[in-house]
């Protein structure tokens, strides 16, 4: 007993020594950057993912030894402009911005450029400004393709078999968010051959992005819009097979509308994007069918490696991919913000369903709660 205890003690002592070595090493690297401040502007706390993005960015930059200013602007365009202006006035060394409205930061970012502050557009491209050095995001078009492909695979759609047909409705994102069109187009383009062949029908006739867009990605607006669609086109017993939603916040509203207002007894396919906790629970409960998962901890990690290179005076290119811990592509073709192509690092999204949901535990960002039978976040 005594012996076991002493082995245990010396093991933990050794672990302690090793940890302090690790800390010493970290502290050494950390000290190099302590005079540099990173300004981070996130759109809102009302959508879960941005809380995670903000937390991971802050944590990872601080661990690397930088000082961090983190601002959330409550989905208010004027406030975001003010928050960014204040960070410029404070003399931050680099800005990371997830824009509320991609078109509304031109003047503020001209000030950043004058002050020689590099800007990384985070997740959402910022339009009409030449102050952006780089764009870090996921492959936005692929997000929509994965949603469309999921529908094809789960219904076993076959372009040569026009005997079976299904009804689908789309819900898209915020028109102010440059990503929203990519998501919608990725899904629509993937399904278009089946729509044209009459295998997929859209009873509402709402086939364009503008008709199904959801300002601010609001759950309540998505709920209301979908209740209207159900009342107008499905109250006569028309069967709804698929509700293709661009992301999780809109999927929450749509799923709620289906639960309260849909008369049919089938369970329509409901797609999403992000892997927000409420949606992961809905997937377990069979209320949502899939989500396109974005590992935003990896997105923060890629942003850190990129920011460090920029701050060291480098001009990062494809070579930076070797330094990343996450799979990504370097893209110099897809994202023109109106002033030219913005070089982009694009991470890879993947499909999560009830069948592979527990794989998320391997990211280290979630734990499986045995009592609740749900995933819980390990984020603070
Ligand atoms: C997009 C983002 C998505 C989703 C959405 C709603 O720009 O890429 O992941 O979160 O905004 O906030």
Domain that holds residue 16: 10-138+295-348
CA 154 to ligand 1 centroid distance, Å: 25
What is the average pLDDT across 213-221? 98
Q: Regarding beta strands 132-138 and 119-122, do their DSSP bridges make them parallel or antiparallel, or are they unpaired?
A: parallel
Q: Is the CB of 47 under 6 A from ligand 1?
A: yes
Looking at residue 262, its pLDDT comes to 98
Q: Which atom of ligand 1 is nearest to the CA of 274?
A: 9
Last residue within a domain, chosen from 240, 273, 306: 273
State what percent of residues in the chain have pLDDT above 70: 92
Looking at residue 33, its pLDDT comes to 86
- Name the average pLDDT for the chain: 92
Looking at residue 288, its pLDDT comes to 98
Instruction: Give exposure, 228-245, as e/b (b: 16+ Cβ within 10 Å).
Output: ebbeebbeeeeebbbbbb
Q: Is the CB of 274 under 6 A from ligand 1?
A: yes
Helical H segments across the chain, by residue range: 2-32, 48-63, 77-89, 106-114, 140-155, 178-196, 209-212, 219-233, 248-261, 277-284, 296-311
Q: Of 79, 82, 81, 88, nearest to 111 (Cα)?
A: 88
What is the residue with the minimal CA distance to atom 9 of ligand 1? Answer: 274
In a domain, 356, yes or no: no
Give tens-digit pLDDT for 175-187: 999 999 999 999 9
What is the average pLDDT across 281-305? 97
Q: Are 179 and 137 in contact (CB under 8 A)?
A: yes
CA 309 to ligand 1 centroid distance, Å: 26
State whether 216 and 258 are in the same domain: yes
Rounded to whole angstroms, the maximal C-alpha distance in the chain is: 77
CA 328 to ligand 1 centroid distance, Å: 18
- Rounded to a whole number of angstroms, the distance between the first and last alpha carbons of the chain is 38
- Whether the per-residue pLDDT at 277 is higher than 50: the answer is yes
Q: To test ligand 1's pocket by mutation, which of 46, 247, 277, 279 has the most ligand atoms within 8 angstroms of CB?
A: 247
In this structure, what CATH number is given to the domain that contains residue 327?
A: 3.40.50.2300
The number of distinct structural domains making up the chain is 2
Q: To test ligand 1's pocket by mutation, which of 173, 218, 291, 349 has the most ligand atoms within 8 angstroms of CB?
A: 173
Give tens-digit pLDDT for 144-158: 999 999 999 999 999
In a domain, 380, yes or no: no
Give tens-digit pLDDT for 60-106: 999 999 999 999 999 999 999 999 999 999 999 999 999 999 999 99
State whether 151 and 130 are in the same domain: no
Q: Is the CB of 135 under 6 A from ligand 1?
A: no
Q: Of 122, 130, 135, nearest to 70 (Cα)?
A: 122
Q: Of 174, 112, 134, 55, nearest to 303 (Cα)?
A: 134
What is the average pLDDT across 258-263? 97
Looking at residue 380, its pLDDT comes to 65
Give tens-digit pLDDT for 3-58: 333 333 344 434 443 444 444 444 444 547 889 999 999 999 999 999 999 999 99
pTM of the model: 0.91
Model confidence band, residue 370 (pLDDT cutoffs 50, 70, 90): confident
Give tens-digit pLDDT for 109-130: 999 999 999 999 999 999 999 9
Q: To test ligand 1's pocket by mutation, which of 44, 122, 136, 177 has the most ligand atoms within 8 angstroms of CB?
A: 177
| Those residues with Cβ within 8 angstroms of residue 132's Cβ, 6 or more apart along the chain or in another chain | 109, 119, 120, 121, 125, 126, 337, 342
Q: Which helix (H) or strand (E) segment is 200 a member of?
A: strand 200-201
In a domain, 64, yes or no: yes
Q: Is the CB of 294 under 6 A from ligand 1?
A: yes
Q: Is the CB of 179 under 6 A from ligand 1?
A: yes
Looking at residue 30, its pLDDT comes to 52
CA 147 to ligand 1 centroid distance, Å: 15
What would the two tokens of residue 183 be? Answer: 């998501």
State whether 301 and 336 are in the same domain: yes
State whether 329 and 238 are in the same domain: no
């Amino acid at each position: 007993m005594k012996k076991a205890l002493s082995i245990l003690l010396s093991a933990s002592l050794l672990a302690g020594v090793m940890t302090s070595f690790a800390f010493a090493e970290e502290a050494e690297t950390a000290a190099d950057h302590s005079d540099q401040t990173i300004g981070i502007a996130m759109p809102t706390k009302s959508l879960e993912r941005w809380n995670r993005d903000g937390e991971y960015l802050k944590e990872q930059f601080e661990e690397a030894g930088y000082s961090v200013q983190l601002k959330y602007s409550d989905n208010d365009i004027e406030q975001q402009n003010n928050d960014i202006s204040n960070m410029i006035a404070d003399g931050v060394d680099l800005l990371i911005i997830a824009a509320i409205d991609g078109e509304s930061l031109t003047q503020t970012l001209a000030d950043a450029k004058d002050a020689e502050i590099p800007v990384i557009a985070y997740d959402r491209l910022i339009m009409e400004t030449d102050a952006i050095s780089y764009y870090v995001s996921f492959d936005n078009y692929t997000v929509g393709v994965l949603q469309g492909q999921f529908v094809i695979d789960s219904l076993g759609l076959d372009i040569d078999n026009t005997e079976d047909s299904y009804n689908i409705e789309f819900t898209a994102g915020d028109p102010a968010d440059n990503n929203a069109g990519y998501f919608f187009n990725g899904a629509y383009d993937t399904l278009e051959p089946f729509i044209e062949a009459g295998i997929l029908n859209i009873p509402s006739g709402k086939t364009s992005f503008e008709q199904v867009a959801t300002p601010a990605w609001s759950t309540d607006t998505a709920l209301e819009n979908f209740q209207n669609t159900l009342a107008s086109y499905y109250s006569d017993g028309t069967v709804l097979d698929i509700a293709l939603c661009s992301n999780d916040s809109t999927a929450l509203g749509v799923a709620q509308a289906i639960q309260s207002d849909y008369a049919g007894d089938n369970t329509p396919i409901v797609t999403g994007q992000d892997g927000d906790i409420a949606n992961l629970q809905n997937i377990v409960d069979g209320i949502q069918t899939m989500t396109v998962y974005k590992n935003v901890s990896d997105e923060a990690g890629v942003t850190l490696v990129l920011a460090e290179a920029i701050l060291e005076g480098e001009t990062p290119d494809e070579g930076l991919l070797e330094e990343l811990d996450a799979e990504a592509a370097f893209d110099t073709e897809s994202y023109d913000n109106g002033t030219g192509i913005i070089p982009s690092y694009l991470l890879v999204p993947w499909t999560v369903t009830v069948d592979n949901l527990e794989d998320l535990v391997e990211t280290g960002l979630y734990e499986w709660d045995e009592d609740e039978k749900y995933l819980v976040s390990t984020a603070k």
